[in-house]
Amino acid sequence: DIPASQYYTSAVNWAKENGIINGYSDSVFGLGNSLTREELVTIFYNYAQYKGKITSVNPAKAQAMTDFNLVSDWAKVPVEWAIDKGVISGQGGIYISPKGKTLRCELAQILYNISNNSEVKPIMKWFETIFTKSSFISRKNNRIYFRRH
């Protein structure tokens, strides 16, 4: 379901080819869908893995979360990584809410957490590239603006 001539076509194809963002199946990417919390941390995990930045993971903190049993099997390791490395801390420190939609404020917190964590900070270079080269994101006075197309 990825049109050939959209502004995002090359980016989506690159992300799929490099295992960073997978679709729901070989023929369905889910272009217009919102990201769940487990999908978002899986993207960060996959990108960190792509950049060779994954180190050992202690799953204990994630597995102790009240709703860890609701995390999809494909997202368990990425969620464990994200909690162990401080990318996310859970809602109230006890809920992952893996199927919940990612809010803009949550993404801001994740970016903040990554930028202040020396172990995962190198993956921020990806965002720097997006912010400086993207046609749908602009930066002005140290603020990031999302353009609507």
The answer to whether the CB of 126 falls within 8 A of the CB of 47 is: yes
- Residue 15 neighbours by CB distance under 10 Å: 19
Please compute Rg for the chain using Cα positions. Answer: 16
Residue 54 and residue 133: Cα distance in Å, rounded? Answer: 26
Q: Which residues contact 51 (CB under 8 A, 6 or more apart)?
A: 122, 123, 126
Backbone φ, ψ for residue 125 (5° rounding): -55, -30
**Cα distance between residue 34 and residue 56, in whole Å:** 30
Collect all residues with Cβ–Cβ distance below 8 Å to 87 and sequence separation of at least 6: 41, 44, 81, 110, 113, 114, 117, 120
Please list the pLDDT of the chain residue by residue as tens digits (149 residues). Answer: 788 888 888 888 888 899 998 888 878 888 888 899 999 999 999 988 888 888 789 999 999 999 999 999 999 999 999 999 999 998 888 999 999 999 888 888 888 888 887 777 766 665 555 545 555 445 555 555 555 54
